[in-house]
Structure 1
């Protein structure tokens, strides 16, 4: 099925939402999730193309308890420099029966460390393809901050390209590339410099970056993991950094993403929303993210336990040579 058919099947009989409506929805959801503000660039949701105000994150240094399971010695059955298949990866992770979030994240870190990687050129692009669940456009414009409507919200294919030098960003819209160039026609979009990204190889480096981002451009570590095509050691460091954060828990509720049983790992924000990364239960590969109410919203809010506010499936992440490439 081509891109236009997918969009028609997703949004008919309503017209597709305008770029402004999409941005309002994202801004509203970001406001729901953001802590106390300070001036900086911040990435949390995909396709952020504006200057935002957001918050510093308190960096915790207490390391999570790794007790409760017997670790096994990692090995790479495929040989040095080769990526094992999913069955091999699942059979040789550090914790065969992870007992807590820290152990799941250590398994995820080990898994990405088996990936092959070649450093990209400044003129190459990060290509990220996702399926994002969205409300019908008419409802979304009226209630951009609302929960996803059961039976009415549908997945939409999202394709983005970001040039490694941070000067070009593009999305696929109605079957055509919508290209932005940094600084042209008053356009400025948030982009963490690649020179910053490649430094994030340890939890300590990430903690420092959270307080001292290059050029004032900062993305939450979990957002980097889902929106950037990262070197394996950077992804591994992000997972180990998250394992050190207070309140990181495994959501015991079963999650199924397009036939893939998933483990939800995250923290509760605003007292009732669980902000989660979703990992494959067998391979510990990152396969998506979601924002779900795990308690009723207090006060005058209308959020109810079980309400789903965001759900994204990560389909493909790759370094490509030019705009429009997907492999």
Structure 2
């Protein structure tokens, strides 16, 4: 694989002057989702890397990007539930020098268990703020499946709010808060019910949930780890579940994410793409995700990807529970 640090240095670009149109954003995300995975034939399964509300007649797609302790500014206030965004854990990690994916994930599980947590009310929101690397809108509209272009791809700040009861979601576009309600104007967004989320406290329960989801909506554990503001015991259980899955490996190539050394942990899908969760090298907090080609491949839509091509890069900046849409702390 080509040098990832070189890729990231070339593609990090803060000169973002325009935002993509809603139509371009939807085409790009749907194209990537449709190429990598097909929707489940019976129940709605959410992909771990995409997020966009769609009409009731369209496929339900929800995205990746939520986790616990990342780049926050202090613990939640008196009316805020969620993980306290604190410094590195004070006690010893289970593995000081992990050498396997299972050991890295056990460290991540242990770190998650150290987070403070207050159960949120149904009317509170999961607030997720990320930096998502994207090609410029004009190019992305023409090449929704395209590799992130070195020197041209740019980071865009994404802010999303999802109410705990699943009935309201919101996002910011060009600085304006847009609030949506389930069923309003025919809109519908898939949520794993919170009553289901809080039960996922062991690998056995996660297996059972994937087979028989509550409410008919599932998300792969990869998606849950990066999409919901999870209770510490649920997040830890997901990491331990992933540690038991075949094919999950530590990527030996160095990754520098947002100025911090990161450990990439992933699995190969479609024979040529590695979907990876990125963990802080010191605290083992989940800090991002990416999608990178590990082999040359011509995709079904005839776009060609070379080994080392970066297709997705996301930094998790802030993931907390807030009282209302628009709140950021």
TM-score by length of 1: 0.84
Query: What does 1:249-260 correspond to in 2, within 5 Å?
Result: 249-260=249-260
Report what 2:215 is aligned to.
215
1:305 to 299, 304, 307: 307
3-state SS of the aligned residue for 1:20? helix
Distance 2:199 2:233 in 1: 10
Bigger mean CA offset, 209-218 vs 307-316: 209-218
Report what 2:51 is aligned to.
47
Distance 2:23 2:45 in 1: 19
Report what 2:279 is aligned to.
279
Deviation string 1:202-231 (CA, Å, 9 cap, x unpaired) is 111111111111221111111111111100
Contact 2:266 2:276 in 1 (8 A): yes
Report what 2:20 is aligned to.
17
Contact 1:257 1:313 in 2 (8 A): yes
Query: What does 1:222-241 correspond to in 2, within 5 Å?
Result: 222-241=222-241
How many residues are paired up? 289
3-state SS of the aligned residue for 2:247? coil
3-state SS of the aligned residue for 1:160? strand
Distance 2:87 2:187 in 1: 42
Report what 1:292 is aligned to.
292
3-state SS of the aligned residue for 2:95? coil
3-state SS of the aligned residue for 1:88? coil
Query: What does 1:125-274 correspond to in 2, within 5 Å?
Result: 125-274=125-274
Contact 1:42 1:218 in 2 (8 A): yes
3-state SS of the aligned residue for 1:38? coil
Distance 1:288 1:17 in 2: 22
Distance 1:36 1:101 in 2: 28
Distance 1:122 1:306 in 2: 43
Distance 1:304 1:291 in 2: 13
Contact 2:33 2:50 in 1 (8 A): no
3-state SS of the aligned residue for 2:93? coil
Kindly indicate whether structure 1 or structure 2 has the higher relative contact order, using CA contacts under 8 Å at least 6 residues apart. 2
Larger Rg: 1
Deviation, structure 1 residue 43: 2.3
Aligned Cα root-mean-square deviation (Å):
2.0
TM-score by length of 2: 0.83
Report what 1:315 is aligned to.
317
